[in-house]
Amino acid sequence: MKRRSFVLAGLGTGGLLAAVGLRPGDHGQPHDAYFQALNRELKANGPMRPALLIDLDRLDQNIEVVRQFLERSGKHLRLVEKSLPAPDLLRYIGERIGTRRLMSFHQPFLNHDAQAFPESDILLGKPLPVRSAQLFYQQHRGPFDPSRQLQWLIDTSERLAQYLALAQGVGTRLRINIELDVGLHRGGIAEAQALAPLLQLIADNPQHLEFAGFMGYDPFVGMNLPELLGTPEELLAKVMAHYQRCVDFTRQHFPALWHEGLTLNTAGSPSYSAHERESLSSEVSIGTGLLKPSHYDLPSLAGHVPAVYIATPVLKRTGALRLPGLDDKSRLLSWWDVNQRETFFVYGGNWLADFASPAGLQLSGLFGRSSNQELVNASPAVGLGVDDQIFLRPTQSEAVLLQFGDLLAVRGGRIVERWPVYQES
């Protein structure tokens, strides 16, 4: 009984639509010219295991869009390291855009950054436990000078007191950037007056603490929220009103802490373009938008193009879908749905990603997911053979980019560089 309802439920998924006929792209050639070139290149020179591709031609287009924004707005760019987690990728973008500013979120990556980018200026993107900060100092080597080049992010006066004790213990001065809750409600200072105890502690301990600025992250401004929650313009106005109140409070009550060189950080990929309309912030943070995985298919990033794909080879082609237990009775499924008449097992799988090429690939829904050999169904006309690559588009960048070993940088359909990703320790 149980088994029958399982199968019938499966018949419903996509069956009716798919029974109508072949899907676009099913004309004997699995990929369009773009993916066909990558397929050829990977078969000849690729690792023949799952690989993460960064398309440099497309990345260059996104860099150009951001560069023009920076030119128009007069703002600086801070690259979000966790979203572009390979030092050579960060270097490539940083050199082209001309920024040495990084935003880091993870102590092991922070120690790597301090070594790989001794000239950089680093702002933490989240408040780390004080023990993580202590580990950073214990492990730090090289010419990067944290007392000039690093800003710790602080959200509460309790944490600031812990960092003060660390500074006293290490015998150094910490630069402190204060997290503002500009509407995301992920912590930080929500009322300007609540800045007072933090700024007072900084003012009272000039040997060990230095005020370095504010960070107010507002991705919701560009996230396509329902109109009823506010238009992007209205949301931005609220963000900036709070930011302005915090700036005014500091200037008024702690004028000695204020100076022109402070870091007034804001935005993320979804919202950066909205900040062209304000002149209070000094810099925007951008990471993921430069690669544009699918969760960043937002109107605010319409000028950006997808520049990241997963490629993985087909290991096996086994014909119509056959389910364990159902065996030949599975034929009913492929009779119903032409896109279950061919079955491929690919190398790896179960990623945060959707099929990109060839068109018409689908998960079975009945067979289950696999990180080792994922089952992929299609129509026989899809034209894929063993050793051909399929391509997927990640939904996000940060975690996905760390799952494949070296990134393969491609240009003009050729692998031109292999870039190691960050290690966790």
Ligand X SMILES: Cc1ncc(COP(=O)(O)O)c(C=O)c1O
- Positions touching ligand X (CB under 6 A) are 80, 83, 103, 125, 217, 268-269, 285-289
Task: Report the amino acid identity of residue 220.
Answer: F
Closest listed residue to residue 262, CA positions, set 207, 186, 199, 183: 199
Q: Based on CB atoms, which residue is closest to ligand X, 269 or 334? A: 269
Q: Based on CB atoms, which residue is closest to ligand X, 149 or 285? A: 285
Residue 377, phi then psi, degrees to nearest 5? -105, 155
CB of 216 to ligand X, least distance (A): 9
- List CB contacts of 244: < 8 A, sequence separation 6 or more: 280
CB of 232 to ligand X, least distance (A): 16
Residue 49 CB: number of other CB atoms within 10 A? 12
Residue 189, phi then psi, degrees to nearest 5? -85, 120
Residue 9 CB: number of other CB atoms within 10 A? 11
Q: Give yes or no for a contact between 376 and 346, defined as CB atoms under 8 angstroms apart.
A: yes
Residue 151, phi then psi, degrees to nearest 5? -120, 120
CB of 288 to ligand X, least distance (A): 3
Q: Based on CB atoms, which residue is closest to ligand X, 30 or 268? A: 268
Q: Please tell me the distance from the alpha carbon of residue 126 to that of residue 43, in angstroms, as a whole number.
A: 41
Structure-token match 């990728």, residue found: 89
Residue 116, phi then psi, degrees to nearest 5? -75, -30
Helices (H), 230-287: 232-253
CB of 291 to ligand X, least distance (A): 9
CB of 222 to ligand X, least distance (A): 10
Q: Based on CB atoms, which residue is closest to ligand X, 183 or 287? A: 287
Q: Based on CB atoms, which residue is closest to ligand X, 278 or 317? A: 278
- List CB contacts of 375: < 8 A, sequence separation 6 or more: 321, 343, 344, 345, 363, 364, 367, 368
Helices (H), 354-413: 398-401
Q: Based on CB atoms, which residue is closest to ligand X, 111 or 288? A: 288
Cis peptide before 358 (omega within 30 of 0): yes
CB of 297 to ligand X, least distance (A): 13
Q: Based on CB atoms, which residue is closest to ligand X, 104 or 111? A: 104
Q: Give yes or no for a contact between 232 and 302, defined as CB atoms under 8 angstroms apart.
A: no
CB of 322 to ligand X, least distance (A): 42
CB of 218 to ligand X, least distance (A): 9
CB of 79 to ligand X, least distance (A): 9
Q: Based on CB atoms, which residue is closest to ligand X, 50 or 216? A: 216
State how beta strands 414-419 and 407-411 pair.
antiparallel
Task: Report the amino acid identity of residue 289.
Answer: G
**369 DSSP 8-state letter:** -
Q: Based on CB atoms, which residue is closest to ligand X, 79 or 198? A: 79
State how beta strands 373-378 and 174-180 pair.
unpaired
CB of 287 to ligand X, least distance (A): 3
Closest listed residue to residue 133, CA positions, set 83, 196, 175: 175
Calculate the alpha carbon distances from 170 to 131, 268, 419 in Å: 12, 33, 35
Q: Please tell me the distance from the alpha carbon of residue 218 to that of residue 235, in angstroms, as a whole number.
A: 9
Q: Based on CB atoms, which residue is closest to ligand X, 127 or 360? A: 127
